[in-house]
Amino acid sequence: MADLIPFLQNIANGLLIGGVYALIGVGLTLIFGVMRTINFAHGEFVVLGMYAAIVFNQALGWDPYFSLVVALPVGFLAGVLIQRVILATIVDAPEESSLLATLGLSLIIANSLLLIFGGEPKSVLVPYASSTISLGGGVNLSIVLLLAGIATVVAIGGLHLLLNRTEIGRAIRGTAENRLGAELVGINTKRIHAVVFGIGMMLAVAAGVALIPLLFASPTTTGTVFTLKAFVVTVLGGLGNIGAAIGGGLLLGVVEVLGASYLTSEYRDAYGLVAFILVLLFRPEGLFGRSVQRV
Amino acid sequence: MNTNLFGLALLLVIGLAYPFVLPGYLTVGITMLLFIGWATSWDILGGWAGQVSLGHSFFVGLGAYFVALGQSRYGLAPWWSIMLAILAAAALAYVWGRITFGLRGPYFALSTIAFAEIFRLIAINEKWLTGGATGVFIASLPEPFGIDLFSRWTQYYLALAFALITVGIVALISTRRFGYQLRAVREDENSAMASGIDPTAVKLKAFMLSGALTAVGGGIYGIFLSFLEPHVLFYLLLSVQIALTAIIGGRGTVWGPAAGAVLLILSGEVFRTTFAQANLLIYGMLILAIVLFLPRGILGEVSRRLVRRRYARSAKS
């Protein structure tokens, strides 16, 4: 029994962290599923969310979660703008072009942040940073992690409703299924691409805001870490599959936390990468199910 | 071939004269020459074989660490270490390629990142092997024929030799059977197979050659730095920098990667005071401009225009 409580604690923490990974992965996989774009700047979008929370916290004293009110719409608009200005012009170019374009974008974002804010890692200190809620039996949940988990559930639930209950959601799913077919039935796929990239960026920004009380953000390294995690999450689940990205995110969170406490924490980031290569090689359609095309 | 020979001669002359004209900018020259060599080596795989790798910093680190550890632990002279590094790089490239060449396009690029990151974590965490995150110091080096390897002048000429050799090898390949096989595989693997080419074998050869040459440059870089840290040498952004240099200059051309290196290192110098550490901003903006407006890269676009004009002229006459 003594071993069980820390184990349950780890599982709970892993699931909550994994929820945020899922939030990042869902955006990446949605963008890939609809646009066939591998978004290398996704981690940088997360970092933009973190810095938005930091700026609002330092300048206006806002709680990081309150800054979502501004960060989400701005994130959506920025995503639409990026898609319209950059990605829309290379929509028919080879897949590598969009990879290189978003790689360039990630360098621009990271280095602009470095120029503006300097290189030292930053974070937001919230008064409830070390508060916990007891679940009974010695398992405690940190409030910050719990809030991050709630934000994840709300965001993914909202996305689910949008995709399955609204007209634009139907258009998004149609575009993902078959772009030409969607155009034939009168869907403006250019607009859908822009909306989807906006949603993806918005989710990444939300994840960044949810994470900032937990860690330090540094302009040039944090983005890469999260881009890699997002790739791991989506490939674990199969690129383009939203449900699977959620599963992949939760799995990565749990694997990281368990691996770090029972094996060795030095290789915390390597577990995901090894799983990533193995899945790419042996189950390119992902761990869950076969469909790669669907959203 | 003649233009390539002329270009190599020009590079040799400019390269030899540079330290006398600008003796204060030797380190810039060394960096530029190393990047000419790295980007050109990268291009054998990334441009000629069409497999974009974002993990080449691994080979840089491999070369550098072989030199440093060979010297400090086993008293092995750098030239022997570099030869060992060439063998090790080729062997690892073979295994790595065997595992991942089933993946196409962006998936291959993603897998190279994952591989290189795993190697980086190993280099940081396995202290018995690499000295860990604190790094390794090259304290002393032998002096062959009384040449001081710690001198910037020696390092400059080593880097010049490295750049000339890699560009020379690619110039040679471009007119040989192997060069045509590479291009055939890049354009369409199925048609290449139909013409009796084994795509995996060709790509493996390209990867091994590319990795081995990059490791040679890594060895010289190790001597140049003389203090090695894993998160500098196995850094993802170094891989990105090498790949973007070649792509911006022009993939699959003999001189494109070299042109890219000159352009990027020079602009890095010009904006050093403005951007300080954020010098990768230039890479980001240039690659975006290239993807949007010149998808073949700078020299790729120039040579396409020239070829078109030549055909137009021959059609007229």
- Output the tens digit of pLDDT for each of chain A's 295 residues: 457 777 888 888 888 888 888 889 999 988 988 888 889 999 999 999 999 999 999 888 888 888 888 999 999 999 999 999 988 888 877 777 888 899 999 999 999 999 888 888 888 877 777 777 777 667 778 888 888 888 888 888 898 899 889 999 899 988 888 888 988 998 888 899 999 999 999 999 999 998 888 888 888 888 888 998 888 888 877 666 788 888 888 888 888 888 777 776 677 777 778 878 888 777 766 665 554 444 4
Cβ-based neighbour number of residue A86 at 10 Å: 18
CATH number at residue A251: 1.10.3470
| DSSP state at residue A89 | G
Q: Which domain holds residue A255?
A: 4-282
Determine which of B53, B110, B285 to mutate to test the interface with A (most A C-beta atoms within 10 Å): B110
Joined together, the tokens standing for residue A2 give 């003594």
Q: Answer whether A151 touches B (CB < 8 Å).
A: no
Q: Which residues of chain B does A100 touch, with a Cβ-Cβ cutoff of 8 Å?
A: 244, 247, 287, 290-291
Min Cα separation B126/chain A (Å): 10
Instruction: Let me know if residue A233 belongs to a domain.
Output: yes
Arithmetic mean of pLDDT, B260-275: 83
A95/B113 touch (CB, cutoff 8 Å), yes or no = no
Instruction: Let me know if residue A69 belongs to a domain.
Output: yes
Question: Phi and psi of A205, rounded to 5°?
Answer: -60, -45
Q: What is the pLDDT of residue A293?
A: 45
User: Residue B190: CA atoms inside 13 Å, Cβ hemisphere, count?
Assistant: 0
- Burial status of residue B206 (CB atoms within 10 A of its CB: 0-12, 13-18, 19 or more): buried
B287/A99 touch (CB, cutoff 8 Å), yes or no = no
Q: Answer whether A116 touches B (CB < 8 Å).
A: no
B285/A90 touch (CB, cutoff 8 Å), yes or no = no
How many domains does chain A fold into?
1
Instruction: Let me know if residue A288 belongs to a domain.
Output: no
Joined together, the tokens standing for residue B11 give 């590079």
Q: Answer whether A269 touches B (CB < 8 Å).
A: yes
Q: What is the pLDDT of residue A248?
A: 85
Determine which of A29, A108, A292 to mutate to test the interface with B (most B C-beta atoms within 10 Å): A108
Instruction: Let me know if residue A289 belongs to a domain.
Output: no
Q: What is the pLDDT of residue A199?
A: 94
Query: In which element (H, E) is residue A277 found?
Result: helix A268-282
Min Cα separation B194/chain A (Å): 23
Residue of A nearest to B46 (CA): A96
A104/B287 touch (CB, cutoff 8 Å), yes or no = yes
From chain B, which residues contact A within 8 Å (Cβ)? 52, 99-100, 102-103, 105-107, 109-111, 113-115, 117-118, 121, 124-125, 236-237, 240, 244, 247, 275-281, 283-288, 290-292, 295
Q: Which residues of chain A does B286 touch, with a Cβ-Cβ cutoff of 8 Å?
A: 104
Instruction: Let me know if residue A236 belongs to a domain.
Output: yes
Min Cα separation A139/chain B (Å): 32
User: Residue A137: CA atoms inside 13 Å, Cβ hemisphere, count?
Assistant: 11
Instruction: Let me know if residue A290 belongs to a domain.
Output: no
Query: Is 90 exceeded by the pLDDT of residue B159?
Result: yes
* Tokens 């398992």, residue located: A139
Instruction: Let me know if residue A46 belongs to a domain.
Output: yes
Query: Is 50 exceeded by the pLDDT of residue B152?
Result: yes
Residue of B nearest to A106 (CA): B284
Query: 24-63 in A: which are within 8 Å (CB) of B?
Result: 38
Query: Is 50 exceeded by the pLDDT of residue B254?
Result: yes
Partner residue opposite A267 with nearest CB, options B121, B236, B291: B121
- Give the separation between CA B179 and CA A185, rounded to whole angstroms: 47
Q: Which residues of chain B does A114 touch, with a Cβ-Cβ cutoff of 8 Å?
A: 277-278
Q: Walk me through the domains of chain B, giving residue ranges and CATH numbers.
A: 2-246 (1.10.3470)
Q: Count residue pairs from A and B with Cβ separation < 8 A.
A: 116
Instruction: Let me know if residue A73 belongs to a domain.
Output: yes
Partner residue opposite A100 with nearest CB, options B236, B280, B287: B287
How do residues A125-140 score in pLDDT, each as one tens digit? 777 777 777 776 677 7
Give the residue, A70 or B125, on which the prediction is more confident: A70
Looking at A36-142, list the stretches that DSSP marks H as alpha helix, in order from N- to C-terminal side: 42-60, 68-85, 95-117
What torsion do the CA atoms of A279, A239, B112, B42 make, to the nearest 10 degrees?
A: 150
Q: Which residues of chain B does A43 touch, with a Cβ-Cβ cutoff of 8 Å?
A: none
Q: Answer whether A103 touches B (CB < 8 Å).
A: yes
Q: What is the pLDDT of residue A291?
A: 46
Give the residue, A3 or B165, on which the prediction is more confident: B165
Min Cα separation A24/chain B (Å): 17
Q: Answer whether A267 touches B (CB < 8 Å).
A: yes
Give the residue, B176 or B233, on which the prediction is more confident: B176
How do residues B54-107 score in pLDDT, each as one tens digit? 999 999 999 999 998 888 888 788 888 999 999 999 999 999 888 888 777 678
Do B70 and B206 touch, CB atoms closer than 8 A?
Answer: no
Long-range contacts (CB closer than 8 Å, 24 or more residues apart) made by A77-80: A77/A198, A78/A48, A78/A198, A78/A201, A79/A45, A79/A194, A79/A197, A79/A198, A79/A199, A79/A200, A79/A201, A79/A202, A80/A194, A80/A195, A80/A197, A80/A198
- Give the separation between CA B182 and CA B200, rounded to whole angstroms: 11
Cβ-based neighbour number of residue B215 at 10 Å: 31
A101/B291 touch (CB, cutoff 8 Å), yes or no = yes
- Burial status of residue B171 (CB atoms within 10 A of its CB: 0-12, 13-18, 19 or more): buried
Partner residue opposite A96 with nearest CB, options B106, B279, B290: B106
How do residues B11-63 score in pLDDT, each as one tens digit? 888 888 888 888 788 888 999 999 999 999 999 998 898 888 999 999 999 99
Q: Answer whether A280 touches B (CB < 8 Å).
A: yes
A107/B103 touch (CB, cutoff 8 Å), yes or no = no
Min Cα separation B93/chain A (Å): 16
Do B246 and B240 touch, CB atoms closer than 8 A?
Answer: no
